């Protein structure tokens, strides 16, 4: 079975890295706009925490312990640290998904967020979550750094 999950996740995690790297003014990573709850930096911390937990810890057994409160309260993390954390996340996801089988995808996911569903269901849910926030980050960057 071809592992499309790994391919898609890695593609968009690397797009996340490129979006954060594309900020010319590092302060804009943490800048919020009226009517928008989260900065690009906050969304990045949230995605890194979410995927390290839902894929790394739950499927890859990495032992990652999530601090969701910190994902939304920490600010001012340097751009270089965010990029390094995203690159580490890419490795965690790659390793966690490298040998995922159809049988594993058909099994019930270890956590219950939306009812008892298959791992494949949750993999699609988490992927949609990644791309949703990736789009928000892209939009914020373009608005905040419009020339």
Q: How confident is the model at residue 2 (pLDDT cuts 50, 70, 90)?
A: low
Domain count, the chain: 1
Tell me the CATH number at 115: 1.20.120.450
Q: What is the pLDDT of residues 17-69, one digit of tens each?
A: 999 999 999 999 999 988 999 999 999 999 999 999 999 999 999 999 999 99
Please report which confidence band the pLDDT of residue 74 belongs to, taking 50, 70 and 90 as the band edges. very high
Q: Is the torsion defined by CA of 112, 127, 74, 30 positive or negative?
A: negative
pLDDT recorded at residue 24 = 97
Mean pLDDT calculated for residue range 63-81:
97
- pLDDT, mean of residues 118-131: 97
Its domain, for residue 127, covers 4-144
Tell me the pLDDT tens digit for each residue of 82-120.
999 999 999 999 999 998 999 999 999 999 998 889 999
**CA distance linking residue 13 with residue 93, whole number of Å:** 9
Per the CB < 8 A criterion, the answer to whether 88 and 129 are in contact is no
The structure tokens listed for 126 are 């988490």
Q: How many Å is the Cα radius of gyration of the chain?
A: 16
Tokens for 78? Answer: 């340097």
The pLDDT of residue 94: 96
């Amino acid at each position: 079975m071809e592992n499309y999950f790994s391919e898609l996740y890695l593609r968009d995690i690397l797009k996340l890295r490129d979006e954060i790297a594309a900020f010319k003014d590092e302060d804009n990573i943490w800048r919020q706009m009226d009517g928008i709850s989260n900065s690009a930096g906050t969304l990045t911390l949230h995605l890194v925490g979410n995927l390290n937990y839902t894929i790394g810890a739950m499927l890859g057994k990495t032992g990652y312990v999530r601090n969701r409160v910190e994902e939304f309260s920490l600010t001012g993390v340097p751009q270089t640290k965010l990029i390094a954390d995203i690159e580490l996340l890419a490795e965690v996801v790659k390793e966690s998904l490298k040998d995922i089988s159809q049988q594993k995808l058909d099994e019930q996911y270890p956590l219950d967020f939306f009812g008892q569903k298959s791992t494949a269901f949750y993999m699609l849910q988490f992927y949609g979550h990644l791309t949703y926030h990736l789009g928000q980050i892209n939009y914020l960057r373009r608005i905040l750094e419009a020339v």
